[in-house]
Amino acid sequence: MINDSGSWLHLHVLLIFNAIMAISKSNIILGIDPGTVVMGYAIIEVNGNAVKILSMDVLKLGSVKDIYERLEMIHNKVNLLIAQYKPHTFAIEAPFFGKNVQSMLKLGRAQGVAIAAAMQGKINVTEYSPKKVKQSITGNGNAAKEQVWKMLQQTLSIEEKPQYFDATDALAVALCHHYQTSSPLGKIAKGFKGWEDFAAKNQDRILKK
C-alpha cells in the first residue's frame, strides 16, 4: 500500500530497477525497410546500452518482373532472417502515404507479407512512421536519408557506408525500436501521463491518513 512520499519513492525506484533488469538481457531486433524493388533489413543485438550490428543488407527485387514472385521472395527472406538470427522483436517502417496510389498499394503489400512472416514466427511486430524513425535517430522528423546515415555512423561506429540507403533505413528502424522500448521511465509511464495520473487511476492502492 502507498501511504507516504517515502513509499512513492520506493515504488518509483522499484519500477525503474525492474525496467532496467528487463532491458539488461540480450535482445535481438529485426528492422525492415519495405520495398518492392529493394527491401532493406538490419539485425541488431542489444545488451544493456551496447548495440551490435549482426547484419545489414538489402534484398534486390528489381530484376523480377512478376509482383507476386517479389512478394514471395520478401516473405522467404524474412523467414530466413528469423530462422538464422532468432530475433525477439520485429520493427518495420510504415508506408509513407504519397500521391502515387499504385506505388502505395505495392508498398503496402510488401510490408504486409513481411509482417505476415514475422507473425508466423510468433514475433511481436511494431510499426514506425518514417517521421518517427527520423525523429528518434536524429532529433529531426524531416531529416534527409544522408543525415540519418551520418547519425547512425556516429552512434554505432560504422566504418563503411552501405551501397543502399534502404539498408541504413532498416537499421534506423531497428535502432528506433530499441530507443522506444529501452527507456525505464518510458516503460513506467506507459499508459499514464505522469505520477499524478498514476495515483488518480490507482486510488485503491493509496492509503490516506
Q: Is 93 among the catalytic positions?
A: yes
Other beta carbons less than 10 A from residue 81's beta carbon? 25
Bridge-based pairing state of the strands 50-60 and 38-47: antiparallel
Q: Which of 45, 72, 166, 197 is catalytic?
A: 166
Q: Is 169 among the catalytic positions?
A: no
CA distance 51 to 175: 8
CA distance 179 to 172: 10
Which cell numbers hold the place of 148? 540519418
Write down the residue that cell numbers 527520423 correspond to.
134
- 206 φ, ψ to 5°? -110, 125
Q: Which of 33, 169, 196, 197 is catalytic?
A: 33
Q: Is 33 among the catalytic positions?
A: yes
Q: Which residues are catalytic?
A: 33, 93, 166
